[in-house]
Amino acid sequence: MKKVGAIYSGDGGCDFIVWAPLKERMQLHVVHPVDAVYNMQKDKEGYFHYNVESLYPGAQYFFRPEGEHDYPDPVSNFQPEGVHGPSEVIDHSTFQWNDADWQLPSFKDLILYELHVGTFTEGGIFESIISRLDDLKTFGVNAIELMPVAQFPGNRNWGYDGVFPYAIQNSYGGPEGLKRLVNACHRKGIAVFLDVVYNHMGPEGNYLLQYGPYFNKKYCTPWGDAINFDDEWCDGVRDYFAGNALYLFEHYHIDGLRCDAIHTVFDNSAVHFWEYLHHKVKELEQKMGRSFYVVAESDLNSPKVIWQPESGGYGFTAQWLDDFHHALYTLLDEKGRERYEDFGELTQLAKGYTDGFVHSGEWVKFRNRKFGRSSAGVPGDQFVVFNQNHDQVGNRVRGERLCMLVDFDRLKVAAACLLLAPYVPMLFMGEEYGDESPFYYFVSHSNPKLIKAVQKGRQEEFAVFGFDVEPPDPQNESTFNDCKLKWRKRKDGKHALLLQWHRVLIGMRQQHLALQNFNKADVQVETKGERLLIMHRQSASSEQHLICVFNFSDEEMAYQLPASDKSWNQLIYSKDDKWVEKPQDKVPNLPKVIKGGECIKFAPISIAVYEQAL
């Protein structure tokens, strides 16, 4: 795999390399600190080269395909003036890393936390996240997942409109800002995941077609022509995106990637792009002597995503499990069935716990076809589950979080369903204390026609669902500002109580062997009626047995604990006095110790965990 971009040698020299196989000429136009134009030399693989002496980091430049117009470098490491401005030479060797002793936790031990840099803090930059790391660590987070930070137009965007995968967003703090954040996270024992987009590019500032055949028309995606992963000249495209992953791992010490919508990467090559990326990452692991995680967002409901290539798979570390969210949400919110018409049965959540994919070959009305394949037997630590994420919140017309849709008791049950699951959990920023700020879709484009197209597109998207309100204007800065977290609330009333609830549940995951066992054979689930679910979790040695009782009903429900000569000790109960928000909501506490075979009545909308005494 060839190195591309502006490669500073450290001695005042800089190699410039750009891939443009169908171009006859290419010029390098340095615009700072001097103005100079150089004719580049082309090799047989379509790469243009030029070495400039006495050029130092901070120099800015463009390329001129066919010697005509200036365009930023497709492999730009930094765009200080935005997507239309010059690219800047970066020297990665000067940053002082102090994470040599960093030990990446096992994937199964992660508590992931998705956040958007611009709205996570009032400051909205990498540096301001650092001041909040202790807050995250205190309640149990040991891995943050940043929404995309590749350079996008303007300074407000979810990040999925990025057009320079190698350039770190200038308004967030650029390359130095991201490195300082990763450095700080590692010092505090927190891993850093980065959301990357290899399935499409944003519309504004996308100059890839000025250089080469990065797209093809064989396949259609929601964003237009697909990335060219299997047509003529695709080798350079495959290396462009695979090289980006290696670049982020090597130069930014990123621990893991979350790959957006992998099902929209179309590739009929003998070696699929995702398999190709897997092998390149493994090579880098050997070179650097450390591990990296690569997680997929997939709409395939196929275990192929996490199978190893030798078994015909893509080799991802894990994949998001959307079915878990849908199955749980529709039990918590009555209106959820309107949004997810194929969900709403308690048995589906039970299957989500024991198998993973709820849709594993059944007829699905939403798709008008049979969908999915069984994931029974796939270890739980190869799935990431969540109660909410940027899509689930941001693609609602009012941008409501779960805490704005259901009551406090249901929030406690939701958190327990997530954190007691035999999967790797992920929280969405502010979820831990019930932040009530909306999370809307927002942009800051400069092209008036594009702005109108985005505004119209959002209105039409929500009109399909029959919403009777207008979505907020994504271009309006107030839409973005409304989404910023209200950190002060985490210390008040129900917010503080919910935060402590999450902290205790995460502590249980870390303390109890049964909750650290991801073997599905040791997870059994039974249902009583339509609203009572009982999950059994056992340690690998079978020495510890936990029973998690979830009552989704508005009525009291009874359950008889398994007969045994050993008693059961209560670990947590959501209706215990200390977890009740309002005095009038208090109910009689459950016994702290219960004899085997005894029948217990569980309060409406509650969750209790009992451990069998040894």
Nearest-angstrom CA–CA distance, 219 and 225: 6
CATH number at residue 41: 2.60.40.10
Determine if residue 326 is labeled as part of a ligand binding site.
yes
Clarify whether residues 14 and 51 are in a common domain. yes
Clarify whether residues 525 and 461 are in a common domain. no
- pLDDT for 243 equals 98
100: left (phi over 0), alpha (psi -120 to 50) or beta: alpha
What number of other Cβ atoms are within 10 A of residue 33's Cβ? 11
Clarify whether residues 180 and 118 are in a common domain. yes
Clarify whether residues 88 and 179 are in a common domain. no
Sequence-ordered strand ranges (E) for 263-341: 293-296, 318-320
Clarify whether residues 447 and 571 are in a common domain. no
Clarify whether residues 22 and 116 are in a common domain. no
**Structural domain ending residue among the three candidates 473, 502, 531:** 502
Determine if residue 333 is labeled as part of a ligand binding site.
no
**Structural domain ending residue among the three candidates 502, 535, 562:** 502
Q: Give domain status of residue 221, yes or no.
A: no
Clarify whether residues 261 and 308 are in a common domain. yes
- pLDDT for 220 equals 86
Q: Give domain status of residue 225, yes or no.
A: no
Q: Give domain status of residue 215, yes or no.
A: no
Determine if residue 392 is labeled as part of a ligand binding site.
yes
The tokens 């973005």 sit on which residue? 480
Determine if residue 445 is labeled as part of a ligand binding site.
no
Determine if residue 393 is labeled as part of a ligand binding site.
yes
- Domain range for 331: 107-201+235-502
Determine if residue 394 is labeled as part of a ligand binding site.
yes
Count of domains forming the chain: 3
Average pLDDT by stretches of 10, the chain with 614 residues: 92 94 98 97 96 95 97 98 98 95 97 98 98 97 98 97 98 98 98 98 96 93 92 96 98 98 97 98 97 97 97 97 98 93 97 98 96 96 98 93 97 98 98 97 95 89 73 95 96 95 97 95 94 95 92 96 90 94 81 92 96 79
- Burial class for 253, CB neighbours closer than 10 Å (0-12, 13-18, 19+): buried
Q: Give domain status of residue 101, yes or no.
A: no
Clarify whether residues 384 and 240 are in a common domain. yes
Clarify whether residues 587 and 487 are in a common domain. no
CATH number at residue 139: 3.20.20.80
What number of other Cβ atoms are within 10 A of residue 477's Cβ? 13
Write down how long the chain is: 614
- pLDDT for 614 equals 65
Determine if residue 49 is labeled as part of a ligand binding site.
no
Which residues does residue 256 pair with via DSSP β-bridges, in sequence order? 193, 293
Nearest-angstrom CA–CA distance, 539 and 553: 29
The tokens 């920023």 sit on which residue? 429
Pairing label, strands 318-320, 293-296 = parallel
Q: Give domain status of residue 206, yes or no.
A: no
CATH number at residue 519: 2.60.40.1180
CA-based nearest residue to 35, from 67, 59, 8, 5 = 59
- pLDDT for 361 equals 96
Clarify whether residues 592 and 486 are in a common domain. no
Q: Give domain status of residue 557, yes or no.
A: yes
Q: Give domain status of residue 448, yes or no.
A: yes
- pLDDT for 230 equals 96
Clarify whether residues 571 and 445 are in a common domain. no
Q: Give domain status of residue 441, yes or no.
A: yes
Nearest-angstrom CA–CA distance, 247 and 265: 20
Active site residues: 260, 297
Residues 6+ apart with CB under 8 A from 387: 325, 328, 329, 402, 414, 415, 417, 418, 427, 428, 431
Nearest-angstrom CA–CA distance, 445 and 462: 21
**Identity at 75, one-letter amino acid code:** V
What pTM, to 2 d.p., does this model score? 0.97
Determine if residue 608 is labeled as part of a ligand binding site.
no
- pLDDT for 222 equals 86
Clarify whether residues 264 and 413 are in a common domain. yes
CA atoms 458, 460, 463, 468: torsion sign: positive
